């Protein structure tokens, strides 16, 4: 797969402003003082697509928080990619912190959006269910098929426990993201009152070609068991 090599991710402090009302829950939680100063994005699962290019990356600057939203609560960030046309999805990254001891499952879904983040649209890729994610601080790249990427999207992740949450990172180094996330439930946007910035550790990849290994939903589910 044509993709950037594994890289170190610096943790630094970052402040921003707020413009949207904060919701009562969930709220960002400070990372522990001994949280690793670098994360390396590692491959998780099977290499499915040899021609895969990053169209959005927010993986460089930590705000020092993570979002343990709760089991089944999806945190979706607005991703304004470098694309100008629709392409096939071929992968995504996400970074998370699980302070517990057990493995967790994540469900990842891509939704249509527009440049103003007016609403979370219909799913355009996924849901992809990824089992067996290890505890601790981790960042993974996962190849997928059967879906598309458009220039403006929401990328949502839900974990199946109370402890695990996406890392909050800002700003994006490729593409852009506004200071807002969409929580489902309740199905509303928030920016936590502006601190930390409502952006999370995510990467998105697409290919101009049709995925070379088309898969049924059944075979997709089996890849991540």
Q: Where are the domains of the chain?
A: 44-223
CA distance 54 to 203: 7
- pLDDT the model gives residue 216: 40
> pLDDT tens digit string along 7-34?
333 333 222 323 334 445 589 999 999 8
> pLDDT tens digit string along 120-148?
999 999 999 999 999 999 999 999 999 99
pTM: 0.83
Give the confidence band of 225 by pLDDT, cuts at 50, 70, 90: very low
Burial class of residue 62, CB neighbours in 10 A (0-12, 13-18, 19+): buried
8's tokens:
């170190």
Residue 36 CB contacts under 8 Å (≥ 6 apart), including other chains: 11, 137
């Amino acid at each position: 797969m044509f993709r950037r090599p594994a890289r170190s991710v610096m943790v630094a402090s970052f402040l921003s402003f707020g413009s949207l009302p904060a919701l009562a829950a969930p709220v960002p939680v400070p990372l522990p003082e001994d949280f690793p100063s670098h994360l390396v994005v590692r491959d998780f699962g099977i290499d499915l697509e040899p021609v895969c290019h990053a169209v959005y990356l927010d993986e460089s600057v930590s705000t020092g928080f993570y979002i343990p939203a709760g089991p089944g609560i999806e945190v979706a960030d607005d991703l304004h990619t470098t694309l100008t046309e629709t392409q096939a999805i071929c992968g995504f990254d996400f970074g998370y912190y699980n302070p517990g001891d057990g493995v967790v499952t994540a469900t990842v879904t891509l939704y249509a959006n527009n440049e103003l983040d007016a609403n979370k649209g219909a799913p355009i890729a996924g849901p992809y269910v990824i089992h067996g994610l290890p505890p601790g601080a981790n960042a993974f790249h996962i190849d997928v098929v059967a879906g598309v990427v458009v220039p403006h999207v929401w990328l949502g992740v839900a974990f199946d426990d109370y402890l695990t949450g996406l890392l909050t990172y800002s700003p994006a180094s490729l593409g852009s993201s506004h200071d807002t996330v969409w929580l489902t439930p309740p199905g509303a946007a928030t920016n936590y009152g502006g601190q930390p910035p409502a952006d999370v550790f995510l990467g998105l990849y697409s290919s101009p070609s049709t995925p070379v290994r088309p898969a049924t939903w059944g075979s997709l589910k089996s890849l991540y068991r």
